[in-house]
Amino acid sequence: MAGARDVKRRIKSVENTRQITRTMELVATSKLKRATDRVRAATPYGEALREIVRSLYAPAFAEVYPVLRRPEKTRRAAVLLMTANRGLAGGFNANLIKEARGVLERLRSEGVETELHIAGKKGISFFRFRGEPIASEMVDIGDTPTVEDAETLIGPLRRRFEVGELDAVYVVASEFRSALSTPPATRKVLPIEPAEGGQDADAFLLSPGAGPILERMLPAYVRNAVFIALVENAAAEQGSRRAAMKSATDNAGDVLEYLTRTYNRARQAQITQEIAEIVGGAAGLE
Per-residue H/E/C for the chain: CHHHHHHHHHHHHHHHHHHHHHHHHHHHHHHHHHHHHHHHHHHHHHHHHHHHHHHHCCHHHHHCCHHHCCCCCCCEEEEEEECCCCCCCCCHHHHHHHHHHHHHHHHHHCCCEEEEEEECHHHHHHHHHCCCCCCEEECCCCCCCCHHHHHHHHHHHHHHHHCCCCCEEEEEEECCCECCECCEEEEEEECCCCCCCCCCHHHCCCCCCHHHHHHHHHHHHHHHHHHHHHHHHHHHHHHHHHHHHHHHHHHHHHHHHHHHHHHHHHHHHHHHHHHHHHHHHHHHHC
Residues 237 and 265 in one domain: no
Number of domains in the chain: 2
Could you tell me if 17 and 47 lie in one domain? no
Q: Structure pTM?
A: 0.84
Average pLDDT over residues 195-214: 58
**Residues 130, 101 within the same domain:** yes
Residues 125 and 193 grouped into a single domain: yes
239 pLDDT above the threshold of 80: yes
Asked if 196 and 272 sit in the same domain, the reply is: no
Residues 219 and 255 in one domain: no
CATH number of 198's domain: 3.40.1380.10
Q: Tell me the pLDDT band of 3, cut-offs 50, 70 and 90.
A: confident
Question: Are residues 162 and 274 located together in one domain of the fold?
Answer: no
117 and 178 fall within a common domain: yes
Do 164 and 281 share a domain, yes or no? no
- In this prediction, residue 168 carries a pLDDT of 95
pLDDT surpassing 90 at residue 167: yes
Provide the CATH number for the domain around residue 6.
Answer: 1.10.287.80
Domain that holds residue 70: 32-243
Do residue 7 and residue 38 come from a single domain?
no
pLDDT at 65: 80
Q: Are residues 190 and 278 in the same domain?
A: no
pLDDT in tens, 138-155: 998 988 999 999 999 999
Do 145 and 204 reside in the same domain of the chain?
yes
